[in-house]
């Protein structure tokens, strides 16, 4: 048991140390907000897409492809988000707060947490976990846009515009290009793969530093942030991970699903809520509290799964 606890801590602590280093550097003005903004642009536009391309391109999908994992992961995201939205319609009367709360309660930081944890635990990551991103990101984007448009700006939902923006996402483009090159067996020179490898190695530290720089900690403990964290970190994984086990999912696929269900609220929930007329303070509080508490919940979750020899 002690060995599994230490494994969980060794996997989790580097991630949060980097994230809170970014928080420290920004709040002490060692790096300006503009500097982190430019670093975030470079990470989102270049580093993460390159990492996704390389991960998908080098994966053996014939051996690893698991349609049950993909279908189950997407189904859980849709069902859980709709349930939270339905309940909050009756519980949270302030529509702006409701929109931010619902998004923070279902949208996980899988892009950063998922890739970082899988990279640490499985020595280079998992092609299936990366492929899951190609499906989950559009699903998250569509549902979040529906929630925030309905609760915030009150504008009309434009599905064509949502789809267009989703597939203009550089991460999605990187994944799809990697998948295409993988399927057609396009040869890539060794020097190019080495270069892609160097760029990919920057993804985890740079993404975590920039994510940490966006965290807001002022007066964050309240009923919205705490209950949202409970839903995101405890309720969702406690319900849906056991079902995944009953479906026969194990190893990397089960770990990828656990991270998807148990990750803290995505950093993007703050910017989306702010830009779409919902309560940005509720969103920021939910992100900070869930991120802070996930140090404990992730360690416990990974320890339990490893102790039961499921991952």
Considering only residues 124 and 249, tell me which one the structure prediction assigns the higher pLDDT.
Answer: 249
Provide the whole-model pTM.
Answer: 0.84
In sequence order, which ranges of the chain are alpha helices (DSSP H)?
Answer: 2-27, 33-42, 48-57, 61-64, 67-91, 95-106, 115-121, 127-148, 159-166, 170-183, 190-201, 203-213, 223-230, 236-246, 251-262, 268-275, 280-307
Rounded to whole angstroms, the Cα distance separating 231 from 226 reads 9
What integer pLDDT is reported at residue 113 of this predicted model?
79
What integer pLDDT is reported at residue 157 of this predicted model?
64
**Mean pLDDT over residues 204-219, rounded?**
78
What integer pLDDT is reported at residue 233 of this predicted model?
95
Domains in the chain, number: 1
**Per-residue pLDDT for 1 more than 70?**
no
What integer pLDDT is reported at residue 155 of this predicted model?
60
**Mean pLDDT over residues 126-141, rounded?**
79
| pLDDT tens track for 38-76 | 888 888 889 888 988 887 888 776 666 788 999 999 999
169: CATH:
1.20.1530.20
Q: Which structural domain, as residue segments, surrounds residue 277?
A: 2-307
**Per-residue pLDDT for 14 more than 90?**
no
């Amino acid at each position: 048991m002690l060995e599994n606890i230490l494994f969980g801590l060794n996997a989790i602590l580097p991630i949060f140390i980097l994230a809170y280093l970014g928080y420290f550097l920004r709040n002490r003005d060692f790096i300006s907000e503009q500097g982190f903004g430019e670093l975030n642009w470079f990470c989102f536009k270049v580093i993460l897409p390159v990492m996704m391309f390389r991960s998908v391109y080098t994966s053996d999908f014939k051996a690893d492809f698991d349609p049950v994992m993909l279908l189950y992961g997407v189904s859980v995201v849709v069902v859980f988000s709709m349930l939270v939205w339905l309940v909050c319609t009756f519980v949270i009367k302030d529509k702006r707060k409701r929109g931010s709360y619902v998004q923070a309660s279902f949208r996980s930081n899988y892009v950063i947490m998922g890739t970082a944890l899988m990279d640490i635990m499985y020595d280079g990551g998992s092609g299936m976990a990366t492929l899951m991103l190609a499906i989950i990101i559009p699903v998250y984007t569509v549902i979040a846009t529906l929630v925030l448009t309905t609760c915030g700006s009150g504008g009309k939902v434009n599905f064509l515009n949502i789809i267009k923006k989703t597939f203009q996402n550089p991460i999605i483009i990187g994944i799809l290009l990697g998948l295409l090159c993988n399927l057609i067996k396009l040869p890539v020179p060794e020097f190019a793969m080495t270069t892609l490898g160097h760029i990919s190695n920057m993804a985890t530290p740079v993404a975590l530093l920039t994510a940490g720089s966006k965290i807001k900690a002022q007066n964050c403990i309240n009923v919205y942030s705490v209950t949202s964290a409970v839903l995101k970190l405890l309720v969702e994984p406690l319900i849906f991970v056991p079902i995944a086990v009953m479906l026969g999912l194990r190893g990397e696929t089960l770990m990828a699903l656990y991270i998807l269900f148990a990750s803290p609220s995505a950093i993007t929930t703050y910017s989306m809520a702010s830009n779409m007329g919902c309560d940005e303070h509720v969103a920021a509080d939910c992100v900070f509290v869930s991120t802070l508490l996930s140090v404990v919940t992730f360690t416990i979750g990974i320890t339990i799964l490893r102790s039961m020899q499921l991952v």
